[in-house]
C-alpha cells in the first residue's frame, strides 16, 4: 500500500498531466439523476469533477456536503476536486477526505490564522491541497502561503453563486502566479468560464478551468466540452 504522501503526489502529477483541462462544476447538475450525469460526463472525456461546497455562512448560499462526495466516490473513479467555501475548513477537511476527495482547496479569507497547518494536514492524508482567493482580496494576503500549496484557485467571480460575469482581474493574477512560482504550481480558475474566457484564461496560465453553465446548460455535454477545449491556448 502506498504512503499517504505518495497518493497526494500521484494526484498532483495526474493533474499536471491533463492540463489544460475543463472541470465541470456539479452545482448545476441534475442531482435526481446523479449516476446518469456522471456517465454522460465520463463519455465526454472529463478527467476531474469539481464540487462546490458552501455553508451558508462564509458565502450566502448553501449547497451539499460530505454525503454527495461519498456518493460520487462510489460511482466514479474520476478525480474529485473539492472547493470548500466554508468558514471553518480545519473542522471539516478531514471529513471530506474520508468521503473521497482527491484535492481540497479552501479560502484564504476563511479565518485570520496561518493556513499552513491545514494545507499540510490535508497533504499528509494523501490529498492535494490548495488555497482559493476571491477577486476583491489582496494578493498580498495569499502570496506568503503559495509555496505551501499544491494548487491555487483564482476566483474570477466572488465565491457563492454560479452564473456571475467573469472578472478580468483573474487573468493578471494567473500570470503573476505563473511568473513568480513557475510551471509546477497548478493554477485553477473558477467563475464565468465559457468559450469566450477559456482562451484568455489558458493563455495567462490556467491549468484547470471550472465550468458550470457552459456545460450543464447545454443539451449535449460532449459538444459543450469539445467547444470549450477548442479554445485552449498555451501560455
Which residues form the catalytic set? 52, 190
Q: Tell me the C-alpha distance between 204 and 173, whole Å.
A: 9
Q: Cell numbers of 107, please? A: 479560502
DSSP 124-173: HTT-EEEEEE-TTS-HHHHGGGGGG-SEEEEESS-TT-SSPPP-THHHHH
127 with 97: CB under 8 angstroms?
Answer: yes
Burial class (CB in 10 A: 0-12, 13-18, 19+), 21: buried
53 grid coordinates: 461546497
Amino acid at each position: 500500500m502506498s504512503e499517504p504522501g505518495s497518493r497526494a503526489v500521484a494526484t498532483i502529477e495526474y493533474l499536471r498531466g491533463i492540463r489544460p483541462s475543463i472541470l465541470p462544476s456539479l452545482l448545476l447538475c441534475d442531482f435526481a439523476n446523479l449516476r446518469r450525469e456522471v456517465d454522460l460526463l465520463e463519455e465526454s472525456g472529463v478527467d476531474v469533477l469539481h464540487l462546490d461546497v458552501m455553508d451558508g455562512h462564509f458565502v450566502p448560499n448553501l449547497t451539499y456536503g460530505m454525503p454527495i462526495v461519498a456518493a460520487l466516490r462510489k460511482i466514479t473513479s474520476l478525480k474529485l476536486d473539492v472547493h470548500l467555501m466554508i468558514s471553518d475548513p480545519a473542522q471539516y477537511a478531514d471529513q471530506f477526505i474520508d468521503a473521497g476527495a482527491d484535492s481540497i482547496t479552501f479560502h484564504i479569507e476563511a479565518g485570520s490564522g496561518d493556513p499552513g497547518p491545514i494545507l499540510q494536514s490535508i497533504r499528509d492524508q494523501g490529498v492535494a491541497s490548495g488555497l482559493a482567493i476571491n477577486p476583491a482580496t489582496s494578493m498580498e494576503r495569499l502570496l506568503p502561503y503559495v509555496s505551501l500549496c499544491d494548487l491555487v484557485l483564482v476566483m474570477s467571480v466572488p465565491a457563492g453563486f454560479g452564473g456571475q460575469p467573469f472578472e478580468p482581474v483573474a487573468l493578471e493574477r494567473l500570470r503573476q502566479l505563473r511568473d513568480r512560482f513557475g510551471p509546477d504550481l497548478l493554477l485553477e480558475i473558477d467563475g464565468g468560464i465559457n468559450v469566450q474566457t477559456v482562451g484568455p484564461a489558458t493563455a495567462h496560465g490556467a491549468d484547470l478551468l471550472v465550468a458550470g453553465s457552459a456545460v450543464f446548460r447545454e443539451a449535449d455535454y460532449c459538444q459543450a466540452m469539445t467547444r470549450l477545449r477548442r479554445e485552449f491556448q498555451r501560455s
